[in-house]
Structure 1
Amino acid sequence: MVDGPTLPQKPSAAVLPFTNLTADGATDYLIDGIVADLISVVSRVPRIFVIASSSSFKYKGEVVSLRDVGTELGVRYVLEGSIQLAGDQLRITRQLVEAQTGHTIWSERFAGTTQDVFALQDQITERTAAALELNVMFAEAGRSRQAPTDDVRAYDLCLQAVPLAMRVSSKAALAQTLDLLDRALALDPDYAYAKALKIRAYMMAAAARAVTHDEAREGLPLAQALLDGRQSDPLVLTYAGHFMAYLGGEPDLGYRSIQQAKSINPNSVLVRVSSACCGAYLVYYQAAIEDAEFA
């Protein structure tokens, strides 16, 4: 039986060294550089605990059981991949796996050239980090729904609310989302992310015309308090900022908050989409187009 540290409460991941399918050790430096850069970028996603490369690189060149890796490193998810080089053509396969079950949550193939290796690294890390944030977010929500009912924590309630808050199409859906988040806040009154998800739910309900703008402005004091609280979580800044721009009558404040979020995690799809929307409100059309295309 492999022993290891206890899983942290928030989602945890390890990025394993990618397999070199080229059978040319001279390309190892390129592969290791891509993986090290990927670990650095993914580590900027606040809601994912990422194991340092000094720990995950010990598996380089080994055939390993992902279940054992997950147990030894104390992580729920493992990102693994392979790289094949032919001339200047590069093919990369990546997949995110739930370590204990072996279930593949996300996979993607990427093809490019080595003519500009730095631009190539940027593309790989940006796309992988963006996919990782969203896929882990929804995988965690599904895992939480299956958790025992006698082990309900603020974190689990918040996870269950995440997919609901992304699309609120009726008053009933809004009430369901707010109920989960209010229960989370009853357990942890200072839970900034739960407050931010309430704001997001109000805003999405207003956008879907499930409630009036006046009804949705019930979330205004929460949004103002979060932005006054010097938050560093990019999604908290984004949801509060977008609310202020859309419903709070302060589009400049909202946009500045989202730009702060973008500086913290530039590879977040959710941050980029909100930046594009708020940029359009303020007639920053070129910046809005760039954010939308990036997302």
Structure 2
Amino acid sequence: MTALRPETAEIQQADVSVDKQGPGLVGLHESIATLLASRGQWRQAYQHLRSALALVHADQGEEPHVPEQLRREVELLRREHAEAREQSLRDSLTDSYNRRYLDQRLMDLVTEHGACRHGLAIALMDLDWFKQVNDTFGHILGDRVLQRVVELLQHGLPEDGFCARYGGEEFVLVLPRVDASRAVEIVEAARERVERHPWQEIAPGLRVTVSAGLAYEPPADEAPERPPVGAEQQLLRADSLLYTAKQSGRNAVAYRADGRVRLAGAAAGRRAVTETRVLGYY
């Protein structure tokens, strides 16, 4: 969350007064903090309360007695700021992470040169025939389906893994620090949970499945001969594999192993792979 500039002469005048030493300075900081917090300007409010605490410390000497109310206000602002930031990174419908969080985390998971620090799996998952769900059962029920799918996708993820809404009925599972076989197991298990969920309890005749494309990037030191792959390129590869899963009959996880595109789980034995290619995919 970026710092916001004061927008009124009231705050500007108060800020000028804060620079002057005089009685009531702690109370002035507290008043400004309250005003800023009421406008959602958490970072500036927090800074003013910190300034008030610093003045109390200065007045009280080495063993200052900080008013309990001031301590509570600082802690409250800390929590409110953290909650506001968390909400800014969440999708309002499904409560999964949003694209902003996805982009930030993927940037953290790769180095400046694009090479993966650790094994990283990215699965792009899409609900099959979701338009038919909306057309048949209505958009309100369709929203409930999206919410339930997110719950199912997030279940059983590794500690650092997370689910983010990519857009519409597309979601991304990000799985850091896993090897290729484990990544396939996790994504295939998520697909099975969606398929086996008792959707008819929500609406008679409702059936929901997902397709997924799973792109895996090994640690850079395990494949030094390969050019570095950034998160954007890995997402493109996952998108291509998702298209392969769709073209191969849907309700499947497509991934690449030993230079070939494969389908995971039961889909591997019941259908052929209709492969697509992405430029630069090795």
TM range, normalised to the smaller chain?
A: under 0.3
Q: Which one has a larger percent helix, Structure 1 or Structure 2?
A: 1
- The structure with higher relative contact order (CA 8 Å, sep 6+) is 2
TM-score w.r.t. structure 2 length? Answer: 0.26
